[in-house]
């Protein structure tokens, strides 16, 4: 499996360029904290593990699991890790709160877990990857829940800000002298 990783650096380059392009495109905009990508990736990974467990006893057991982990799970989790660190840092910059701090810490944990998953892949440790997937799942659920709570808080802040700003189209006649 290690040779498969060296035969396909194209996927890593494409996903890394995608993360860099995302960071460049979102440079001036405050980030909304939506973290659905890690949660969906983890759910699909659980499905692949249940469907094609590498520890079953038939001949091609785990082939789909290996292909999925090498070509989709590891590269995507690394990219999602970089993006979630970037988004949480930008979000904390524009909307500081306790939720934002939790999101930033959890994004770093997800990135560390993604790097550990890559190391487990390089060491050819299927059991390590399978053990880390539930931990990534728990962390991604926490990230998603706190992200949704933070999104609602930010929406309320933006709504209050819009209500506080007076409408520039309305002109008052309080100080005008009536000529009649």
User: pLDDT of 75-109, one tens digit each?
Assistant: 888 888 887 888 888 888 888 888 888 888 988 99
CA distance 143 to 115: 18
Cβ–Cβ under 8 Å, residues 173 and 79: no
Q: Give the model's pLDDT for residue 178.
A: 47
More confident residue, 61 or 117: 117
User: Which residue carries 């005008």 as its tokens?
Assistant: 176
- Residue 101's closest CA among 60, 149, 29, 137? 149
- With cut-offs at 50, 70 and 90, classify the pLDDT of residue 70: confident
- Residue 46's closest CA among 148, 143, 114, 138? 138
């Amino acid at each position: 499996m290690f040779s498969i990783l060296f035969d396909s650096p194209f996927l890593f380059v494409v996903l890394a360029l995608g993360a860099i392009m995302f960071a460049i495109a979102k440079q001036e905009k405050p980030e909304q904290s939506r973290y659905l990508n890690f949660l969906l990736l983890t759910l699909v990974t659980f499905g692949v593990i249940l469907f094609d467990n590498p520890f079953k006893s038939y001949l091609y057991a785990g082939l789909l699991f290996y292909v999925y982990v090498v070509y989709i799970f590891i590269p995507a989790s690394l990219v999602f890790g970089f993006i979630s660190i970037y988004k949480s840092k930008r979000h904390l910059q524009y909307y500081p709160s306790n939720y934002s701090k939790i999101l930033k810490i959890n994004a770093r944990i997800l990135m560390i877990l993604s790097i550990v998953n890559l190391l487990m892949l390089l060491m050819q440790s299927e059991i390590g990857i399978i053990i880390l997937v539930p931990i990534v799942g728990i962390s991604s659920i926490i990230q998603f829940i706190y992200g949704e709570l933070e999104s609602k808080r930010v929406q309320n802040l933006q709504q209050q800000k819009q209500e506080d700003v007076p409408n520039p189209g309305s002109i008052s006649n309080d100080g005008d002298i009536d000529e009649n």
